A = this chain, B = another copy of it.
Amino acid sequence: MPPINVAIIGSGFMGAAHVDALRRVPGVRVIAIASADRRRAVEIAGQFDIPNVFDDWHALLDRADVHAVHNCTPNNLHYDVNRGLIEAGKHVLSEKPLTMTSEESADLVRLARARGVVTAINFNYRGYPLVQQAHGMVHRGELGSLFLVHGHYLQDWLLLDTDYNWRLESAVSGASRAVADIGSHWCDLVQFVTGRRITRVFAHLFRAHERRKKPRQAVETYKGKEVVAPQEYDEVSIDTEDGAFVLAELEGGLRASLTVSQVSAGRKNRQWIEIDGSRSAIAWNQEEPNQLWVGHRDKPNELLIKDPALLDANAREYAHYPGGHPEGYPDGPRNLFRNLYRYIADAQRPGHDPADFPTFEDGHAEVVIVEAVLRSHEQQAWVDVGTH
């Protein structure tokens, strides 16, 4: 079978990460990269044998040999790019958030259904073997009935008022920052693992820094910390949250509590989740992703290691190396992309064949949740999530 040809839009940190993951997916060939930063795009193309480089992503739309496109642009471009690709009949994998508003995300869902293209969104943490195992455990009833869900998602890369990045600017990044950027991953994980939708939220957002120092020259996401050169700054007002407490209710009356923060010193990317059921409980920490804690009342607690020999049949597919050989962050997207392209290669049909990867429906659901979180904070009241 001939490979599926894929193009990437964006040459930043995420664009390069997608190339890295795609190179490991069987049956896929990356044939183009489109980026306004031509120098960087040419560099990536040269390193990884990518035959085409474009300055403008629109150039991809007419290329019949491009079957699928990864949208790794900044948030404020997501809608236009995703829409353009769908209309051109391309399968699309979008970075999150799917769009800036739920009107837009609902529009994309409708459009993709009408056009029949396969869509995916990069809720990459679903790609960890033990997240899949957790999903299986809940669905097989190993936890019993679920009592509560709780956890946090903590980072420190915006701790200081001298930390700056385009994600701090709501015009580019959206009205919510900490919740939309990282809280959304946690909510998606909870919904995926429990199989239940969040239906109501109560939120309290906060800002550690009302004003930040914006350097007069650009700084790349996440790499900012490494650069310690003295710089010139402008003081700017910040209108998005540094963190939030979110209480939620899920289908079936399940309650959840989430703490989100991008200003927690020493926490680099600590996404931690605990699900407590009537028979047992599970807890998982993204920073130590190769073990799942399983809590019991009447026998010793367990540490389930990412060992193919100990995982269920589905989760085993996400583990490529034996027990004790840790797999990490880059292996998650690799797994989801594999699922996506297997689905495409098998000519499976959205709406008809169930997807084993997050889709634009999931992306839309997150946009709707984030909007409810913002409304709740304004109203200081519980707010229904709705579906819009």
| A300 close to chain B: CB less than 8 A | yes
Pick from B23, B257, B321: contact of A245, CB under 8 Å: B257
Interface residues of A in 221-240 (CB under 8 A from B): 222-223, 225-226
In angstroms, Cα B290 to Cα A243, docked, is 26
Specify the chain B residue showing the minimal Cβ separation from A29: B49
| A310 close to chain B: CB less than 8 A | yes
Q: Are A3 and B266 in contact, CB atoms less than 8 angstroms apart?
A: no
Pick from B26, B154, B202, B264: contact of A47, CB under 8 Å: B26
Closest Cβ of chain B: how far from A150's Cβ, in Å?
Answer: 4
Contacts known (A208-B147, A320-B330, A322-B269); A294 close to B287, Cβ less than 8 A: no
In angstroms, Cα B326 to Cα A325, docked, is 13
Residues of B within 8 A of A243 (CB): 147-148
Specify the chain B residue showing the minimal Cβ separation from A152: B150
Interface residues of A in 212-259 (CB under 8 A from B): 222-223, 225-226, 242-243, 245, 247, 255, 257, 259
Closest Cβ of chain B: how far from A261's Cβ, in Å?
Answer: 6
Pick from B152, B257, B320, B380: contact of A382, CB under 8 Å: B380
| A141 close to chain B: CB less than 8 A | no
Contacts known (A148-B261, A297-B266); A225 close to B326, Cβ less than 8 A: no
Contacts known (A277-B265, A323-B268); A309 close to B305, Cβ less than 8 A: no
Q: Are A48 and B20 in contact, CB atoms less than 8 angstroms apart?
A: no
Interface residues of A in 16-42 (CB under 8 A from B): 17, 20, 23-24, 26-27, 29
| A289 close to chain B: CB less than 8 A | yes
In angstroms, Cα B331 to Cα A274, docked, is 29
Closest Cβ of chain B: how far from A382's Cβ, in Å?
Answer: 6
Q: List 23 A-B contacts (CB under 8 A).
A: A1-B46, A23-B23, A147-B261, A147-B263, A147-B264, A148-B243, A148-B263, A150-B259, A154-B276, A156-B295, A225-B298, A226-B308, A265-B276, A266-B281, A266-B293, A267-B281, A268-B322, A268-B324, A270-B324, A298-B309, A301-B304, A327-B329, A327-B330
